[in-house]
């Protein structure tokens, strides 16, 4: 079942309704009435009587049919039984506003589990507990199933927030800016109805043009990723990045009751899904307004028009830093502008039409940019001089917007009482009019980020032939059956080989003689490694000897090691020594409920000191593998710099993708490091592997 | 003369006053009247008569004494003569609103030079041309000498803006937020009265508590730096960083008429002066409000109080990213809170007093933080639940603020009509109440940045003994007299030696035999370099041989070079070869009107690929030199990492400071590179020098 009944209920009951004004049981009824809810409202209170002029029923079971949504605002311990009653009654969804569940500790968590059990048994949907509720501003519904204070006007922005406080701030701000909201939901502990499900509902809602999301943690990250990925292709999802700092993450964990710390994962999920991420609520709200009223640009090329220079510079900085470009104007556009603008006007990008420019000049500039194929979006910086027919300018902006397929974003710098009509004409036309050049520029840059996502081709992970997944499975299974959590080096290399990841030629050896035999076969110089699970820091403890140049020293080192590690009764690994390439690291880590996060970076100080690494979530596609390489600060060392040729990027891209396939096929892998990988002008080889299961 | 007469004129004349409403000559008179200017206003118009009910005078010379300020709004070509008349009349300052000067090209520039000449001759001060003007909201003055539309209320923020458009946006936004402005100035082409001078005036104005600055370019950067440095010690200066991107810088240059590109320099000037820099006008405005109403924190330790979790997380992220810390609460504070807050309240930092917390709980939390010596500033996240006595909470906030020496910054998330009284009580108390948690947090972080500056001890550049500045001067003078712009390597090393900068032992040699003799003296291995101004890329053209191991090969290489570069009739330089240290670069570049910018970084890919370099303006003090080293991403390589000892930071700090002294003493140096410098565990030595004069 979808969430239609929740957002568009035929009738709403409030169990725990009250005549005391400062209670939630009163407030919800008041909100429903004031907002003009289109269905019947049934207060439920054991005492019966009247509540705010409505007949109150002693029990949910006695309310008239049908009730789609019931608020529950009674004490926490009575909630499970109440939900069971609601289910009996045929209620489709309950909104449990009552707090005192998982957020207060073990006792509350047990109570919450009871809610979930009732929901599973009966099929009733539970929204919350410890939540605000939902709002639907559809004129045929007007459901204000919430105890908050913001009264939305009709609009195209839908909001879902894990934190009711943040949801309310977003809702309030958008409303304060005079823009409408379509639907609102804040589901508190989210024991049943989940944020991904709400996003899915918004995705299917035709009147929702943009979705604003606030999340702090993701109980089911893979589902969120899948739904968000699907919805983002059709409409923009804007979301806040929270818990970015260690302190912020700690506050999240304390606030949400100790869920898995997922801050890096959340950023990567946003990126993979195509969500437009924000670090700032104000920007998110302002951008939602832009997205709701203007088309997405076809690309990132902005043409700017200004009637004063300073704000244009500020907007230019912000646009460029936000990933947009401001190309030179085409010759025909230049010629047209030279003819139609004031003689002193600056015919560049930004176009300065001058403070004295009137409606005809603005019209000429806007139309020239609308007709210029080299421009994807128009940014207007309009200060309202008292000596200019600003209303005429506004009308030209509105007229241009009517015929425009390109987004037009405006900054209107004015005194809002004196120029109210001018502002109104622009805003009513659907052109968002921001107070500040940097605000408007940030919005347009956010639209550009979404445009770039839409242009990104959907790409399936590369499907490699000739992989031996079953052999790999048996390597892992055998190791696990032997009680190992860390695979032997030989098993690790074996795993790589099963997936076509090239490793430096090697041989396992059970004893010194086998080492020598392997050495003769592989040729020198060699690396000799001890291979035993119990020896974790091989290098530090003398379990690795590099640059073994001949048979005698091989035998000698092997004997020393055999003696040294006798207690661990170790095996050995003899491997060709690689040299001359660039040392890289490709790693992976499992994230509960999501899959794996793959890491890529240059070895040594690049990882340890400069922290110059990149991440993606599995499955990693070819484009994503390429991005992992190219997004490093040190990428020029890989692509070639200072007259050097660079390394084999195709080989690296392939290693990353093949590793991704290993992880997809073997979700029981907890950590996997290919470290180092040697990359050469031709090819790349893995020199060491560490696999934890 | 200061700018007192400009900002507090005893009488204002408007030359070019008009009865036509849409003219600047009408508008200024209207603005003066409407704002309630406390002195007489004299319209000047050749036709005489009345303008907006005031007697108009045919000439400035016929207006009654004394006139301190005269606006000039007549055609550009008549302006110089008009200023001369004003001077004759005894006017102290003219505000030239008229445009058509330097901003339109050569012809206008010539006209502007005439203005400057009149000012110099007569001592009259010229504000503008091509400018808005000034405003002073002092109730005893109320001078609105400007044609814009924002009517300030009385306050403590003073604004100066190079761009009138941006100035107006700032002024408008602060006013719209209900906060007062003290003085305003936008001086357009700034041919005489300059922004540094205005900042100096604001600095001396007791009622100005914070200065908001917008600049795009600096005609006299050293003066700006000196004045701003002095003022910042007494009151905060907030400024926008504009022209950050190449496109933005291009727009600046097109807007301001092609002044020197100084974007990097401007950032460094802000940093050295102690200016609090912003990338966003909204943040600048909101921060100005915070600075104007609250004390500067003693440090960066924030205690946060919230009654809902989500916004607290957002604020926490923002504070931490902004350089603040949120320490754990002290044991006594914890105990106190446990006693006084609701039982389920979260006693951490942030403190969650819960949505149901009333006035007594907020009071307890605020007072506990005020009394905690481990907390420098208080951040409140207050959502106004309908079931709470929010007005009572507001009164407690106001009361706490009255006794507080620490800044209190609040985010009040509410519906502004319904909770108008609550908001008013908080704001009237002087606690800024922001709409958004991230906005409030950014403001407090900005206050923290200023606090850090105030704690920074003022430090004189290190004064080194035993420098031989006069010998260095003669090296440079001799080279210049010989027509050289690039000093020979020997001269470069000589310069270093004069300033006690250790260079790798070397000797100059005029020919092959001298090379060999020098080699015998210095010992092997050696580096042999050709030394001739005409050979620019020595290394590429075979003019440098590294690792010369003995006398025979030295002779052989020297002979080869002598033949190869015979045409340049070169000298040679023989130098001990350094090895085993870290390769660094210390460079410097002259910036017109400012001094030099010194650069520091690790060599090779760190500079070329990672662009990991730091900059400071001369003179570079010990602390600044230290910061240059520590601010590198790769700093751990210098300070020691992975069990390695690091290099001699004291020696590096000294090289940077001694280089700074070279540049201070010899401003004619255009570029100077010590590249590479080899840093060792003990000491550091320069291996190559390049000096352009």
pLDDT digits (tens, 9 = 90+) for B615-644: 999 999 999 999 999 999 999 999 988 777
Residue B450 half-sphere exposure toward CB, CA atoms < 13 A: 30
Alpha carbon of A107: minimum distance to chain B alpha carbons (Å): 13
Q: How confident is the prediction for chain B on average, in pLDDT?
A: 93
Q: Which of residues 293-322 of B touch A (CB under 8 A)?
A: 308-314, 316-318, 320-321
Give the closest residue to A586 by CA, choosing from A658, A523, A648. Answer: A658
The size of chain B, in residues, is 693
Q: What is the token pair recorded at A645?
A: 């040729």
- pLDDT at residue A568, as a whole number: 78
CA distance B377 to B443: 12
Q: Which of residues 340-359 of A touch B (CB under 8 A)?
A: 344, 346, 348, 350, 352
Q: Tell me: the pLDDT tens digits for B47-68?
A: 999 999 999 999 999 999 899 9
Alpha carbon of A641: minimum distance to chain B alpha carbons (Å): 8
The residue in chain A having the minimum alpha-carbon distance to the alpha carbon of residue B604 is: A642
Instruction: Please list every residue in chain A whose beta carbon sits closer than 8 Å to the beta carbon of residue B168.
Output: 383, 413
Alpha carbon of A161: minimum distance to chain B alpha carbons (Å): 9
The residue in chain A having the minimum alpha-carbon distance to the alpha carbon of residue B308 is: A165
- Contact check, Cβ <8 Å, B162/A310: yes
Alpha carbon of B149: minimum distance to chain A alpha carbons (Å): 7
Q: Does B242 touch chain A (CB under 8 A)?
A: yes
Taking residues A671-680, what's their average pLDDT? 94
Taking residues B126-138, what's their average pLDDT? 97
The residue in chain A having the minimum alpha-carbon distance to the alpha carbon of residue B149 is: A415
Alpha carbon of B439: minimum distance to chain A alpha carbons (Å): 8
Backbone angles phi, psi at B284, to 5 degrees: -60, -45
- pLDDT at residue A254, as a whole number: 59
Q: Which of residues 85-114 of B touch A (CB under 8 A)?
A: 104
Q: How confident is the model at residue B256 (pLDDT cuts 50, 70, 90)?
A: very low
ipTM value greater than 0.95:
no
Taking residues A171-200, what's their average pLDDT? 96
Q: Tell me: the pLDDT tens digits for A73-107?
A: 999 999 999 999 999 999 999 999 999 999 888 99
- Contact check, Cβ <8 Å, A348/B254: yes
Backbone angles phi, psi at B184, to 5 degrees: -140, 140
Give the closest residue to A663 by CA, choosing from A496, A490, A484, A481. Answer: A496
Q: Is the pLDDT of residue A539 over 80?
A: no
- Nearest Cβ partner for B346 among A254, A436, A438: A254
Give Cα A504 distance to the centre of its chain: 38
- pLDDT at residue A122, as a whole number: 97
- pLDDT at residue A260, as a whole number: 34
Q: Does A448 touch chain B (CB under 8 A)?
A: no
> Kind of pairing, strands A41-44 and A613-617?
unpaired
Residue found by looking up tokens 């107070």 in the block: A435
The residue in chain B having the minimum alpha-carbon distance to the alpha carbon of residue A437 is: B281
Instruction: Please list every residue in chain B whose beta carbon sits closer than 8 Å to the beta carbon of residue A245.
Output: 316-317, 320-321
Taking residues B521-534, what's their average pLDDT? 88
Instruction: Please list every residue in chain A whose beta carbon sits closer than 8 Å to the beta carbon of residue B348.
Output: 251, 254
The residue in chain A having the minimum alpha-carbon distance to the alpha carbon of residue B312 is: A251
Q: Is the pLDDT of residue B262 over 60?
A: no
Which H or E run includes B526? strand B526-531
10 Å CB burial of residue A544 (0-12, 13-18, 19+) is middle
Q: Which of A210-224, A257-271, A432-446 has the lowest mean pLDDT?
A: A257-271
Q: Which of B128-137, B285-294, B507-516 has the lowest mean pLDDT?
A: B507-516
* B297 backbone φψ class: left, alpha, beta (φ>0; ψ -120 to 50): beta
Alpha carbon of A116: minimum distance to chain B alpha carbons (Å): 24
Give the closest residue to B175 by CA, choosing from B289, B317, B63. Answer: B289
Q: Tell me: the pLDDT tens digits for A440-471?
A: 999 999 999 999 999 998 899 999 999 999 99
- Nearest Cβ partner for B317 among A248, A320, A605: A248
Burial A452-491 (b: 16+ CB within 10 A, else e): ebeeeeeeebbeeeebeeeebeebbeebeeeebebbbbbb
Q: Which of residues 457-496 of A touch B (CB under 8 A)?
A: none
- Contact check, Cβ <8 Å, B247/A326: yes
Alpha carbon of A245: minimum distance to chain B alpha carbons (Å): 5
Instruction: Please list every residue in chain B whose beta carbon sits closer than 8 Å to the beta carbon of residue A167.
Output: 310
Taking residues A654-662, what's their average pLDDT? 97
- Contact check, Cβ <8 Å, B245/A320: yes
Burial B68-85 (b: 16+ CB within 10 A, else e): bbbbbbbebeebbebbbb
């Amino acid at each position: 079942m979808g969430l239609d009944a929740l957002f568009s209920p035929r009738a709403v009951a409030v169990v725990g309704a009250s005549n005391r004004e400062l209670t939630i049981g009163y407030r919800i009824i008041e909100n429903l009435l004031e907002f003009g809810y289109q269905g019947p409202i049934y207060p439920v209170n054991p005492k019966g009587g009247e509540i705010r002029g409505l007949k109150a029923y002693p029990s949910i079971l006695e309310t008239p049919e049908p009730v789609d949504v019931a608020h529950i605002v009674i004490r926490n311990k009575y909630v499970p039984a109440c939900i069971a009653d609601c289910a009996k009654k045929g209620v489709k969804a309950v909104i449990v506003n009552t707090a005192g569940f998982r957020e207060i500790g073990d006792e509350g968590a047990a109570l919450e589990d009871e809610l979930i059990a009732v929901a599973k048994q009966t099929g009733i949907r539970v929204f919350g507990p410890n939540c605000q509720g939902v709002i639907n501003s559809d004129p045929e519904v007007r459901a204000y199933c919430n105890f908050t204070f913001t009264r939305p006007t009709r609009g195209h922005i839908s909001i879902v927030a894990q934190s009711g406080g943040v949801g309310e701030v977003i809702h309030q701000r958008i409303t304060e800016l005079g823009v409408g909201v379509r639907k609102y939901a804040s589901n508190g502990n989210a024991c049943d109805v989940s944020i991904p499900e709400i996003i899915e509902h918004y995705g299917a809602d035709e009147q929702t043009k943009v979705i604003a999301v606030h999340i702090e943690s993701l109980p089911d990250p893979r589902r969120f990723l899948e739904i968000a990925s699907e919805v983002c292709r059709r409409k923009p999802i804007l979301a806040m990045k929270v818990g970015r700092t260690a302190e912020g993450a700690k506050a999240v964990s304390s606030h949400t009751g100790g869920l898995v710390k997922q801050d890096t994962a959340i950023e990567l999920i946003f990126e993979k899904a195509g969500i437009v991420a924000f670090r700032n609520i104000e920007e998110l709200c302002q951008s939602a307004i832009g997205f709701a009223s203007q088309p997405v640009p076809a690309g990132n090329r902005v043409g700017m028009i200004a009637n004063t220079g300073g704000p244009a510079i500020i907007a230019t900085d912000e646009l460029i830093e936000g990933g947009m470009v401001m190309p030179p104007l085409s010759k025909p556009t230049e010629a047209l502008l030279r003819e139609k603008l004031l003689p002193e006007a600056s015919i560049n990008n930004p176009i300065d039409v001058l403070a004295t420019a009137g409606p005809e000049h603005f019209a000429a500039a806007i139309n020239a940019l609308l007709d210029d194929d080299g421009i994807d979006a128009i940014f207007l910086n309009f200060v309202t001089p008292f000596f200019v027919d600003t209303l005429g300018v506004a009308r030209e902006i509105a007229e241009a917007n009517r015929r425009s397929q390109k987004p037009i974003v405006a900054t209107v710098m004015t005194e809002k009482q004196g120029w109210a009509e001018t502002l109104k004409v622009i805003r009513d036309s659907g052109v968002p009019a921001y107070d500040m050049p940097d605000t408007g520029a940030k919005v347009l840059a956010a639209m550009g980020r979404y445009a770039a996502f839409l242009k990104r081709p959907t790409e399936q992970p590369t499907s490699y032939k000739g992989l031996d997944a079953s052999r790999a499975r048996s390597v892992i299974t055998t190791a696990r059956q032997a009680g190992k959590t860390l695979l032997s080096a030989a098993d690790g290399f074996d795993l790589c080989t099963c997936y076509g990841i090239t490793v430096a030629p090697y041989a396992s050896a059970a004893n010194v003689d086998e080492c020598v035999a392997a050495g003769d076969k592989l040729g020198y110089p060699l690396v000799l490694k001890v291979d035993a699970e119990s020896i974790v820091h091989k290098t530090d403890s003398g379990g690795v000897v590099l640059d073994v140049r001949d048979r005698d020293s091989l035998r000698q080192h092997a004997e020393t090691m055999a003696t040294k590690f006798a207690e661990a009764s170790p095996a050995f690994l003899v491997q060709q020594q690689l040299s001359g390439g660039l040392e890289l690291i490709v790693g992976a880590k499992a994230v509960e409920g999501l899959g794996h996060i793959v890491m890529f970076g240059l070895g040594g100080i690049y990882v340890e000191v400069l922290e110059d690494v990149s991440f993606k979530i599995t499955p990693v596609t070819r484009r994503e593998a390429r991005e992992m390489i190219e997004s490093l600060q040190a990428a020029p060392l890989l692509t070639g710099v200072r007259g050097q040729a660079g390394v084999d990027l195709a080989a690296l891209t392939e290693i990353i993708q093949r590793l991704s396939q290993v992880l997809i096929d073997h979700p029981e892998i907890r950590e996997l490091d290919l470290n180092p990988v040697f990359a050469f002008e031709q090819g790349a080889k893995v020199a060491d592997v560490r696999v934890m299961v």
